Structure 1
């Protein structure tokens, strides 16, 4: 059976209180009277020695001392001469002017000569070479006395007598008082035991609760010791252990989280690799099949007229051009992702570069009846890789030409934004789904899966834009507008960056 430590303290301390009370009562009952008797004997012997030292046959000089001894010790004193005549006595009293003494009916002188002490019953006697110490019982008064007799230096006899009934009564009163006080003492002891046990076990119970919390990986609870003892040291150790375990588990959790992220990244990279291989294979399969088919047709001389032969050659050349562009884009993207790639940053006028690129598209804009608008101020210097930023502009324009609707609106803007310059390209057309705004930057991703591949696009242009901007550590994005879709990038202003 499991007994709590609090109960053990209760029982142990209550047992100590009961043992103490019982032991005190036993000692009072069995030994207090003997101890008190021994002390009275020592006191009588000491008093007799004082009288012996002071008495020089002149009782008048020590009368006051004898009276003081009688008063202080409640003792009766009698001094008799060598002839048996009483010289001093506090035993006898006067009645009607005559001395009264219950020891005998004779006069004091006669009683002294007749050795009246022989009328007492001697209960116990102790004799040595200096004094006689005995317990006498008065048969008339039925009283017990402790009597000491000794011979003084002048051969007189000193007798000191004290009533033993007072000793017995004192012991009885003490035992009675002990009985009365035992109950409140036990009750107070029990109350104190409860208080002490609670104060003693409270930190232990608190430590137990903290240990249970630690077992459940909850390290928020801390023990606050109220004392400076071994329990406080144990509480500090438990708190320290809790902090260390909390730190270790947090670090372990962090390591597990990092490991999980690494595993997820590895799985994601593996998925991207497989998807990349699949997309590349798919994108190259079609032009290779077309080139192979038309080449076999030419070899077999399927078409005899020159016009059809030229058509076959144009298809082969066009598909070869598309395949070449795809391979170049893949190599470009791989180069940007390489850790060894370094940008060639210079300071240049972004507006001049924009006009230069737009000039190359003049014929295409005219052919497709594009309504072009450009908002750019000259002298906007940026610090970036000129060739890569030109590629970003080209990819944005190609993307706009591919998705512009029948409104044929394309607008380009250069806007200063603090230490950055934002370049944006907007085309009128259908909005991009919200869940695809972040996915369009992934290689081979197409927001419109139904769009045919005859436009020559394989979904690498925006992925290249993303890689270039990440190399420049600048932002990029896309957003739906009321008229269409706008793509944007940010560039570092040259006045904030030195080459």
Structure 2
């Protein structure tokens, strides 16, 4: 007894915790409601409207028989008999010199005994056709009569006896009640398993998505569902999870690298400023050297802040383009001049190949920034020969600008990430001689804003960054 009480208590608790608006419950209720609807529909047509349908069917048979009689070219006894047997009806042909009847069963004989008044009334009415209904209270049945005038002196009286259906309806009702109970029980059981099968993968996806919302990237949306759309949803969410995980990783790297790049020059500025104050303020040569270091590190900080602002503006679509006519060759030569000190002091070589004239329409400042960042990247990673190649090629439809270094190249698995902020072939932070680590990400955003195609190719020796400018632009 205690076990039964405990079971009932647990069952009540389960029902209390059931969410009435859950997918499983809704699917289950829908299937049950659908079963009840079908049962009600069948009850109406098989029980409630059975008498009406039966009478309508018999009336239709009378109408069809009348049509066949009218359309018969030879109206002999065999034709009339065939029509009567085919439609399960009785036919009586009545005329001045003609009489024929198919009265052979009980229903037809009853009609034959009772239709005298009907015949008289119809013949006197001069109507072409008329429906009659005779009710036999003794036998509790009804006879349908269709009277029609075939020609001037020839009449046809077609009748069908409606058998009482009360006993049939009672039997059907009892059977239907049993059938309904069985169907409802099966609906409850089958509906439960179907709702469970449909809702289980969705509930799993929902639970995993909550993990993802909490920043847990171990969430796995893969399901064992046989439903294509659910599997598609799971695959899409797994892909989104992987991308979010990469973004989160890059965000952490960005914070670490920006913090590093801010801390390093700030530390140097502070150290050299203290040296100027405490040690070298009377030594002009040393003081100038320390002050130059402070200025260089301040410039680096300024460059970092500007790059962060540019990247933020580009990614938030707040970077406006000022489109104008640009001599691309002249622009690239201006960028090369900025690296002149590297040619003079560190023997870097910039090889620029180009057509005679290249005029494009773009934002001068932003394209300058693109060329500068790509060249800066090539300088940082070129080989021991310290060569950087800048090439402009053209065909009928476009110009292609490519900047190539002679370094070790980029691994194939790293190529798709090379445009990400602070992405390096190795996860450890690598501070370049020039730049902030945001350059390629800024380049990507500027080129996308100009709708330029861009990319990178790399082999064992050197990498080539390129972008294409349509001549229509």
Q: Under TM normalisation by the shorter chain, which class is it?
A: 0.3 to 0.5
Structure (1 or 2) with the larger CA radius of gyration: 1
Question: Normalising by the residue count of structure 1, what TM-score does the alignment of the two structures yield?
Answer: 0.45
